[in-house]
């Protein structure tokens, strides 16, 4: 996406470590793959090939949160005209409940810049739903078996 030349999007002093949100670089993809496997069940974690395809896709944005020299989280989104989607958001278990997920989401919204943003979340994922609700997303549809048998999805939307 346009804007990738500005590598560091956010830099915050958390008290214990400096947190930076940057555009993903090609060299980050292996670490992002490891992060995906730490955060999602098999089948839901993005593989290296998917991450590479998203990295090359002009409409997609991959942002990485760095803390203490480590990849702490990432968000992937894409934009098509006035509509954007958050495709993937995750924070390493070692860095959770410090506001990193919310900050990644907010930064992705700014970078994507669309007025209408949607995302999918599993109905059992109460923590992520709460994060999204607090960020202004509202549920607009239920998608039965979206994540597999008896694993239902909720489509959430934010209009700005």
- Buried b vs exposed e over 62-97: b needs ≥16 C-beta within 10 Å? bbbbbbeeebbbbbbbbbeeeebbbbbbbbbeebee
Q: Does 99 bind ligand COA (CB under 6 A)?
A: yes
Q: Select the residue interacting with ligand COA from 26, 80, 97, 150 (CB under 6 A).
A: 97
Closest to ligand COA by CB, 29 or 119: 119
Q: How far is the CB of 2 from ligand COA (least distance, A)?
A: 26
Q: Does 39 bind ligand COA (CB under 6 A)?
A: yes
CB 139 within 8 A of CB 156: yes
Q: Does 128 bind ligand COA (CB under 6 A)?
A: yes
Q: Select the residue interacting with ligand COA from 134, 144, 159, 160 (CB under 6 A).
A: 134
Closest to ligand COA by CB, 69 or 81: 69
Q: Does 154 bind ligand COA (CB under 6 A)?
A: no
Query: Which range, of 11-19, 76-84, 93-101, 145-153, touches ligand COA by CB under 6 A?
Result: 93-101
Query: Which range, of 25-33, 52-60, 91-99, 146-154, touches ligand COA by CB under 6 A?
Result: 91-99
Q: How far is the CB of 132 from ligand COA (least distance, A)?
A: 8
DSSP 46: P
CB 73 within 8 A of CB 66: no
Q: How many CB atoms lie within 10 A of CB 22?
A: 19
* Chain centroid to CA 71: 13
Q: Is residue 23 helix, strand or coil?
A: strand
Phi–psi pair at 81, nearest 5 degrees? 65, -125
DSSP 47: P
Sites of contact with ligand COA (CB under 6 A): 39-40, 89-91, 96-102, 121, 125, 127-128, 130-131, 134
């Amino acid at each position: 996406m346009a804007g990738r030349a500005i590598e560091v999007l956010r830099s915050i002093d958390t008290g214990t470590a400096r947190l930076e949100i940057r555009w993903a670089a090609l060299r980050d993809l292996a670490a992002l793959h490891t992060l995906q496997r730490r955060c999602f069940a098999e089948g839901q974690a993005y593989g290296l090939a998917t991450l590479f395809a998203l990295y090359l896709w002009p409409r997609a944005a991959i942002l990485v949160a760095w803390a203490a020299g480590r990849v702490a989280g990432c968000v992937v989104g894409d934009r098509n005209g006035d509509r954007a989607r958050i495709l993937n958001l995750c924070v390493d278990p070692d860095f959770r409940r410090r506001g990193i997920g919310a900050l990644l989401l907010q930064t992705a919204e700014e970078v994507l810049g669309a007025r209408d943003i949607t995302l999918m979340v599993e109905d059992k994922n109460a923590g992520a739903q709460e994060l999204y609700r607090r960020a202004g997303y509202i549920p607009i549809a239920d998608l039965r078996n979206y994540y597999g048998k008896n694993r239902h999805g909720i489509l959430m939307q934010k209009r700005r």
